[in-house]
Amino acid sequence: MLNTVKDKISEIKSELAYRFALLNHERNLPALEQRDRLILQHLKQEGVYMTSLGELGLNSASNLLQAANSQLSRMETPNNSNAGQRLPQIYTVTDLPEFSTWAREPRLLNIIENYIGLPVAFHGVHLRKDFPNDNQFGTLLWHKDSEDRRIIKIFLYLSDVEEKHGPFEYVPLPLTSAYSLNYYRIYYKLWQSGYLGIHDDTLNDIIPRSAWKPCPGPAGTVIFVDTKSVLHHGTLRTEERSALFFVYTAHSPKRPELCTQYWDETFARPELQISRK
């Protein structure tokens, strides 16, 4: 009982410190161009913003795509089916300069800092290939991420993504507002699952499928999303999908232990393989 009280007091202190830090840093937020203020506004209202590499117009985009396609050509389809569940193939490419240069473009970091409200940490990038599956598991379940209080992940499609490729899909923020009953019903279902995620049929009983927003798009599609606030998942697919996943939080995230996977050896690291030859 005493430990529970202490934990609660510690949590309250942490939240108060976080709120104070937001207020204190507000006057130091970087200025944004008009086009980037529109991205920020959409993120705050919807939780997601879709664009493309061409529309963003960052100088490092061509090097990024060239490096991504080069790494993709080296990825072998793994024999990792477990009870009918084909796990994704993931490379951590954080330390390869073509990926980190794009991820640290000043315009991107300024947008993200304005959304997060604090100095930003770029944790890393995964090159990911997802395979066909018949059943929901892992990130195919509806979920929210928990690395920090606010998280920005940028998904970049490396191939055309239609319904058959399993596009990213989300529920718009207004439908899961903390002031709505849906918010509490969803968190109860997540709690029941051990925070592993919610199946389509379960979510459909709370928020109808007609309100879900899939995000198909051609190669080069870029999706900004707050994966902490937005209920999201990858949809079931009949053909494989390739994408990059860039991850950003506040400089001191709430749960730093969940961020190490973006730069440690949890997944294969091509730069280590090269250096060991």
In whole angstroms, what is the distance from residue 273 CA to residue 186 CA? 42
Residue range 175-206, pLDDT digits in tens: 999 889 999 999 999 999 999 999 999 999 99
Residue range 96-144, pLDDT digits in tens: 999 999 999 999 999 999 999 999 999 999 999 999 999 999 999 999 9
State whether 256 and 134 are in the same domain. Answer: yes
> Is it the case that residue 92 has pLDDT exceeding 80?
yes
Mean pLDDT over the full length of the chain:
93
DSSP, collapsed to helix, strand or coil, labels residue 54 as helix
> Is it the case that residue 276 has pLDDT exceeding 80?
no
pLDDT the model gives residue 271:
72
CATH code assigned at 95: 2.60.120.620
State whether 21 and 116 are in the same domain. Answer: no
State whether 7 and 65 are in the same domain. Answer: no
Residue range 248-265, pLDDT digits in tens: 999 999 999 999 999 999
Alpha helices in the chain, H assignment, sequence order: 2-25, 34-46, 53-56, 61-74, 97-103, 106-116, 181-192, 200-204, 270-275
Residue range 8-65, pLDDT digits in tens: 777 888 899 999 999 999 999 999 999 999 999 999 999 999 999 999 999 999 999 9
Q: What domain range is 85 assigned to?
A: 32-275
Residue range 205-254, pLDDT digits in tens: 999 999 999 999 999 999 999 999 999 999 999 999 999 999 999 999 99
State whether 36 and 14 are in the same domain. Answer: no
Residue range 51-85, pLDDT digits in tens: 999 999 999 999 999 999 999 998 877 776 666 78
State whether 77 and 1 are in the same domain. Answer: no
State whether 220 and 208 are in the same domain. Answer: yes
Give percent of the chain above pLDDT 70.
Answer: 94
State whether 140 and 13 are in the same domain. Answer: no
Count Cβ neighbours within 10 Å for each residue of 24-34 and write b for 16 or more, e otherwise. Answer: eeeeeeeebee
State whether 118 and 16 are in the same domain. Answer: no
Provide the whole-model pTM. Answer: 0.93
Radius of gyration of the CA atoms of the chain, in A: 19
pLDDT the model gives residue 244:
98
Residue range 158-182, pLDDT digits in tens: 999 999 999 999 999 999 998 899 9
